[in-house]
Amino acid sequence: MADYLSPAHFLSLPRPDAQVGTPQGVPDTSTLAAADFDVDNRTGFMPPQPALARLPSDWDIWEEVMEEAITKKIKLGSREDLTEEDKEASERWRERVRQMPVLPTEDLNRSEFLLRRAHHVLAHVMHFYVNSQPAASASQIIIPRSITLPHLRISAQLQLPPVVTYSDDVLYNWDYKDSSLPDPYRIPTTENIKAVTLFTGTRDEEEFYLSSARVELRGVEALELMRLTMDEAFVGDAIAFRRITSHLHDMVDVIKGMTQQLVRVREGCDPSTFYNEIRPWFKGADSAQGSWVFEGLDEDSTLLEPKELSGTSAGQSSIIHALDIFFGVDQYSHSLTLSGSSTDQGASNASYNQPDKKSFLSRMQAYMPRYHRAFLNHLSANPRPLRTLVAAHAHDAPELLDAYNVAVTALKEFRDAHMRIVAIYIIGPSRKAASSAQEKQDEKKRLADVDVDGKESLKGTGGTDLVKFLKGVRDRTASAVMSQPAQAA
C-alpha cells in the first residue's frame, strides 16, 4: 500500500475501534484543523491522492469477483434483451459470490485506506449481485453471507451504510489521466482525472461520475472563502464587512464555476444510456422494487439489519451541504420532508448512529465519510453565522446584504441547473419509457402519476419523490434571499 500521508497525519495513526471509541493518545478528530476533517486545502473534500487501488492478497477474492463482473460485462437482470447466455453467465458469477468464504476483516481495521477500498469493492459486488438478478425474482433479493458479514462489519468501522455511496463512486473512485508530473504538483484537477470502477465500462458512466468530481474540485476555493469570512466575522468592524462583501462576490464566481462543471455532464453522458443502463445499477433498497434480505446476521450479534439504504446521490456531496450551512439556507433547503422519503428511525448497524431524519438532505449526511460529517457539524456550530451577521447589519452595511443575496441567488441558479440536468437525464427518458409499447404494465402505472406541471412522480436513487423534492429545495433556497430593510421615515 502506498504511503500517501506522513506518519503524523491522523489517518496514518491507529484507528479507534468503532465499538470502543478513541484510544488514549489518538487525537479527537473534532478539532478545528482542516486536516482533522480529512479536508485538503488544495482539493477540498476530494483526497489529494487516488484511493488505494487494490486490497492486499488476503482479500484477493473480493477484488477478483468485482473484476470478473466488470470484464465479463454482467448485465442488468431487468433488461428485456437478455439472452440465455447472458442469464447463465450472470448466474455463474452470482454462484461464485455465494460460494466465497466469509473473510475476516479485523486486519483491515488498522487502516482507513484499507477500509475504504474494502467498502468500495464489497458495495460494488453487492450492487452487481442485486441488480443482475432476473426481474422475476426481484420481489426479494437474498444477499449472501459472504457479502453480508464482512460488508456490514467494514461499514460499522467506517460508520457508513453498507451500500454504494457518493464517496465510493466519486471521492474515492479516481486516478490521474497523466501521472508523469512530479509528486509535489500532482494533485487532482478537473482536467487530469479519470474514473476507475464502472458498472457498465462506458464513457457515459465515467463522465457522470467525473461531472460530480469536477464540481467538488471547482468548489475548493469556496472552503477558503468560508474560512476567511468566518475570521472577519469575529472582528465585525466596517473593514471586516468590506472584506466579507468582497469574499461573497468571489464566492459567486466559484458557485458559477461549479454550475459550469455540473452541466459539462452533457458533453459525454447520453441521457438514454444513463437512464436505462447506468442509473439502475446504483439504486439503493429504498428505491428498488423488491426488498433486500441480508443473510447471516444471526451469526454476529453486534450487527443489525440495515433499515435504510438509499442509493448514491448528489445529495451526499459535502461541498453542497457546506455551502447551504455557510449561507444559512440549510434551515430552508434542509427542512423539506416529502412522502417519498424514508422515515424509519433504525440504525443500519450496531455502531452507526443515523442523524435526525426530518429531511432527505439531513439523512444524506449519514452517507458521507464521517470526518466530513464532523466538518459540517463544526460549520453548523459557528457562533457568528453569516446570515445572522448580514441581517443584523443590513441597515449600516447594505452592500454586504446585496453581496449575500447575489451569492444565495447563484446557489439557487446552481440548483436550477441541477433541475435541468434531471429533466434531461431522468424525466425525458422516463416519458419515452412510459410511452413505449414494450413497457411493463407496473412500470406504466408508476410513471402515470403526473403533477400539475406535467412532471412525472419519479423516485430518485435516494428514494425521494424526485421532481417535487428538487423543485422544493430550489424554491426554498431562493426564499432565503433577504429583503432590503425599510428606510426610516
Sequence spans of domains, the chain = 57-335+359-444+458-479
Give me the mean pLDDT over the 388-400 stretch.
92
pLDDT-wise least confident of 3-17, 104-118, 154-168, 229-243: 3-17
pLDDT band at 326, cuts 50/70/90?
very high
Percent of the chain with pLDDT over 70: 74
418 is in an annotated binding site: yes
For 174-190, how does the pLDDT look when each residue is reduced to its tens digit (9 = 90+)? 999 987 766 656 789 99
Pair 67, 198: CB distance under 8 Å: no
What pLDDT score was predicted for residue 426? 87
For 76-118, how does the pLDDT look when each residue is reduced to its tens digit (9 = 90+)? 998 989 999 999 999 999 999 999 999 999 999 999 999 999 9
Give me the mean pLDDT over the 273-294 stretch.
87
pLDDT-wise least confident of 113-122, 350-359, 460-469: 350-359
For 429-438, how does the pLDDT look when each residue is reduced to its tens digit (9 = 90+)? 888 877 664 4
Residue 75 dihedral angles phi and psi, to the nearest 5°? -105, 160
Per the structure block, which three cell numbers stand in for 174? 479516481
Q: Is the pLDDT of residue 361 over 50?
A: yes
Nearest to 463 by CA among 348, 292, 312, 334: 312
What pLDDT score was predicted for residue 339? 37
Q: Which residue has the higher pLDDT, 365 or 170?
A: 170
Per the structure block, which three cell numbers stand in for 12? 496514518
Give me the mean pLDDT over the 110-134 stretch.
96
Residue 471 identity (one-letter amino acid): K
What pLDDT score was predicted for residue 338? 37
pLDDT band at 134, cuts 50/70/90?
confident
Instruction: State in words which class domain 57-335+359-444+458-479 has.
Output: mainly alpha
For residue 329, give every residue at least 6 positions away whose Cβ sits within 8 Å of its Cβ, in sequence order, or none: 387, 408, 411, 476, 477, 480
Q: Is the pLDDT of residue 464 over 60?
A: no
Q: Which residue has the higher pLDDT, 261 or 347?
A: 261
- How many CB atoms sit inside 10 A of residue 387's CB? 17
Pair 215, 370: CB distance under 8 Å: no
- State the pTM of this model: 0.82
Query: How far apart (Å, rounded) are the C-alpha atoms in residues 87 and 408?
Result: 51
Percent of the chain with pLDDT over 90: 59
